Structure 1
Amino acid sequence: MITGKDLLDLGYKPGKWFKEAIDYANSNQLNGDSLKNYLETVRPKYIDPYSEPVDFYQNIKAETEEEISNVENVISTMKDLMKTPTLVGGAVMPDACPTGDGQIPVGGVVIARNAIHPSMHSADICCSVMMTNFGHIDPKIVLDYAHSVTHFGGGGRDEFSFLPKELEERMAENRFLNNERSLNFARHHLATQGDGNHFLFIGRSRKTGETVMVTHHGSRGFGANLYTQGMKLAEFFRREISPKTLEKNAWIPYDTDEGKEYWEALQIVREWTKLNHTTIHNATVEKLKFDPVDRFWNEHNFVFKEGDLFYHAKGATPLDDKFVPDSKDGLRLIPLNMSEPVLIVKGNTTDNNLGFAPHGAGRNISRGRHKKNNSHRTFEEIFHEETKGLDVRFFSGNIDISELPSAYKNAQTVKNQMKEFGLGEVVDEIIPYGCIMAGDWEIDAPWKIKAREKYKARQENSEKTDE
């Protein structure tokens, strides 16, 4: 009688396949070589990481002492990442920032065969930018009206929470999105922009002088909830087919039912994110009572499919129209920082760019490190120095110096390397007038206010006791 212990003694790892194998072996009275031969045909075939990294293109170079460590870390991280056994190619953009631990860096592009890696599109699925050209109108008026209709920081809002019927129906048919949590996020996070480096930017076209609004944000809680489910599913497959692959680089095979439904869920999240941008832009248009001249958008944090190849871009802008089904004249938006223009670019696929361009200026050091480096100065002092001549607003009222220009890579360096490596041609620039960002909204978050009140109450009680 064959048991699970016998299989363990033969060196096999336990799994769901044990039960069926044991039943078959006992039914057919297998033992010795006949048992071993049978087990070899039914055991899971593990896919091990490559011993050497797949080659990737390095569209980046260090031009200052500060950048040397950053670039070295990016390349080291990519080398670890490119051992993932699904990958067949990759590239690094000039704005790349390391994430460490073998994870795809921001500013990285990798091509996987028959595999979707949730960590390689990250929790901020479909982080993207949209522009609306308002024609010849005072940029301050547009910024004021946009400020009155947008929302940054935590939580959601109810006044824009109506979803199109078709979108809700598609969600209801998808195993990853047909739940109350997804529906609540999709409704209540509509017309919100979140925090971090997300922004609402107003400027003027260098070519025409027309006023243009650009918004930058992702899919908020709706996308983050899908990401969480995707990572859990990818981990299940990793344990089953590639246990030696790093957990963060786990994948969902596309040729499974789960893979196809996850791909469809990503497309729904993309549609919602575009709707999120559009809702804010349309609300501004309605307030202004001013017809827009032009509008287009593009994502820079997503997965793009071509046959059985999946291009994962984490902080990289798709240049090739084959990746952007709703492309507008091949034009793409690449923001740099609040004091620099938003670039309007177009370009073609080359061997080294894989059909992508940078997504912005990137960082050389972390937010925390930047704050520490500037701890000898007040936030107000830094803010006034770096935003001189601009109308920069923090929605929460609290300055976040980790989003000021000095927190980012040198914008001119990024533009120079775009040209050097053939990463898109700049056809226009939106010269900054001003922008809105979340700021340090957590200072006044409900849980922090509550904690401050508790602390104050304890202090008062302590003083009374002392009396």
Structure 2
Amino acid sequence: MTQDHNIDPVTGDHLKEWGYRPGKNYPDLLRRANEMRAEGFGLGRIRQDLERAFPPQPPQIALREAGAVAFHENIDVGHPDEEDNIGKVRQTMTELMRTPTIEAGAVMPDACPAGPVGTIPVGGIAAARNAIHPGMHSADICCSVMITDLGNADPKAVLDAAQSVTHFGPGGRPQGKRFTTSLKLLDAFRENPFLNNPKALRMAQEHMGTQGDGNHFLFVGRSRATGRTAIVTHHGSRGPGAVLYKHGMSVAEKFRKKLSPETPKQNAWIPADTEEGRDYWAALQLIRKWTKANHNAIHQATVEAAKVGDVGDRFWNEHNFVFKRDDLFYHGKGATPAWDGYAADATGLTLIPLNMSEPVLVVRGKDAPSGLGFSPHGAGRNFSRSEHRRRMGSVTPEQMLKAETKGLDVRFHAGQVDASELPSSYKNAGSVVAQIKSYDLAEIEDYIDPYGCIMAGDIPPFWANRKKRRR
């Protein structure tokens, strides 16, 4: 036994110095430490004994100073609305960059705020070390677009066929009308702790072949380069992804409380090198497979319903996801990966929809350093949906639709026109295209000019309809 001539008792200051955070276990720690002290043990031996029996928590990580990590801006101001929008994007990105894990950031030409200050904006990219942030891919995990070349098929026949087979709105397909879900994929869900729950498994089957609501769509047009008809779908991982997001945020919150309580809840993270981190990363890859299968199912059902005989290339890309590159995790919230081999099924080509009256861009990524290797995912907004409705004044949605989509076959699954999805609610498409070129974010290889589309629109959730019926 090593004698220590300093007989002062062990205090809370000693425990803090040894890495223990004040908490409910402090009295027990102090009691054990001072019992050893009374027996003549030195402080070094007492510390070793406590650390073996009660390992201290890792030190808490503080937020970085504002401005300590810079971010790239790939966006211009050409209108007062854009000036206000960019100011808000800059404010939220500056706060986001204080997150301890983030090492780089960027915003795209389609950037717009998406929550409280400090929340990653739409059109935002954040590169994190050893961290996956569920809040930075949002609940709409793997929101993505897929295109299929349908040869010389009649666009109207394709749109009619697509309308007969696709499914918009909340919820899934009823029993008897469901699409087949891979049993192998469902088995993989069951083997992952983030996806092995009755709700995720049920939704993986019910939501296959569905597209959701809001800004999700099914678009039919013609290639400007070849004249061939094409179908483009836009949607995410639906119910299974939403369940994963909720579970992921819950796990991230537990880590946040231990590691970095100062970090806002929406920026909580799961350390990638933990068991939870490895399982979450694996779950993301399974959700990606499910989402791709969902797009494929709708495209194939349309091909069969329209009796298309000349089917060409089909490819897709996600724009709400996490991508690992070298030793960093790149979180793209409404941003499209634009480097070769970002995924095993990447073709080098990606899609950028603009709005229902404009072409879908087929682009080849240029891995621009200023974009952290990303390009935009669409046109974005300069103001909110409610602000757009306010600016309409006395103009009806039907009048606005007629004026803004002249000559196009635009259908709203919800039945009524959702004005917040009309072209005027989005940024100027020409301006976004010009910025893609000026910032050298992608090379445009083709334009899919619109024939028409089916838009999900603002579909009230089932509980809102239930309340309305009761009234």
**Aligned 1:388-467 pairs, distance under 5 A:** 388-442=406-460, 446-455=462-471
- State how far apart, in whole Å, the 1-side matches of 2:380 and 2:253 are: 29
Q: Is the 8 A contact 1:298 1:324 kept in 2?
A: no
Number of aligned residues: 448
Write the distance in 2 (CA, Å) between the matches of 1:349 and 1:191: 33
> Where do 1:16-31 residues align within 5 Å?
21=29, 25=33, 28-29=36-37
Which one is further off, 161-170 or 148-157? Answer: 161-170
The CA deviation string for residues 77-97 of structure 1, in whole angstroms up to 9 with x for no partner, is: 100000111011111100000
Partner of 1:217: 235
More deviation in 48-57 or 86-95? 48-57
Measured against aligned partners, the alpha-carbon deviations of 1:20-73 in whole angstroms (never above 9, x if no partner) come to 956863674489965996689835311111113311111011111111000111
Conserved 8 A contact 1:25-1:35? no
| C-alpha displacement of 1:406 | 0.2
1:167 corresponds in structure 2 to 185
- SS class of match (1:441): coil
Letter aligned with residue 428 of structure 2: N
Work out the CA distance in 2 between the residues paired with 1:165 and 1:16.
Answer: 48
- In structure 2, the partner of 1:302 is 321
Q: Tell me if the contact between 2:144 and 2:235 (Cα under 8 Å) persists in the aligned partners.
A: yes
The answer as to whether partners of 1:125 and 1:224 remain within 8 angstroms in 2 is yes
The answer (yes or no) to whether the contact 2:366–2:443 under 8 Å persists in 1 is no
Among the aligned pairs, what percent are the same residue? Answer: 54
In the alignment, which residue of structure 2 is the partner of 1:339? 357
Task: Choose the corresponding residue for 2:64, options 50, 61, 79.
Answer: 50
How far does the alpha carbon of each residue in 1:296-345 deviate from its partner, in whole angstroms, 9 at most, with x for none?
Answer: 000000000123310000000011123222012x1100000000000000
Residues 318 and 324, structure 1, Cα contact 8 Å, conserved in 2: no
Deviates more, 1:433-442 or 1:268-277: 433-442
Shift of 1:447: 4.0
Question: Is 1:365 matched with 2:383?
Answer: yes
Match of 1:464 in 2: none
2: CA distance between counterparts of 1:256 and 1:168?
Answer: 24
Match of 1:314 in 2: 333
Structure 2 partner of 1:128: 144
Distance 1:35 1:48 in 2: 30
Residue among 139, 162, 168 paired with 2:155: 139
| 1:70 equivalent in structure 2 | 85
Distance 1:391 1:10 in 2: 71
**What's the counterpart of residue 81 of structure 1?**
96
Matched, 1:109 2:109: no
User: What is the aligned counterpart of 2:166 among 140, 150, 164?
Assistant: 150
Query: Where does residue 288 of structure 2 map in the other structure?
Result: 270
Give the residue type in structure 1 aligned to 2:111. Answer: A
Partner of 1:465: none
Superposed displacement of residue 160, structure 1: 2.7
Map of 1:201 onto structure 2: 219
Distance in 2 of aligned mates of 1:233 and 1:26:
36
Deviation at 1:449, TM superposition (A): 4.4
- Are 2:366 and 1:348 equivalent residues in the alignment? yes
Cα deviation for residue 439 of structure 1 reads 2.5
Q: Mark the CA change 1:453 to 1:56 in structure 2 (over 3 Å): closer, same or farther.
A: closer
1:458 aligns with: none
Compute the displacement of 1:18 (Å): 5.5
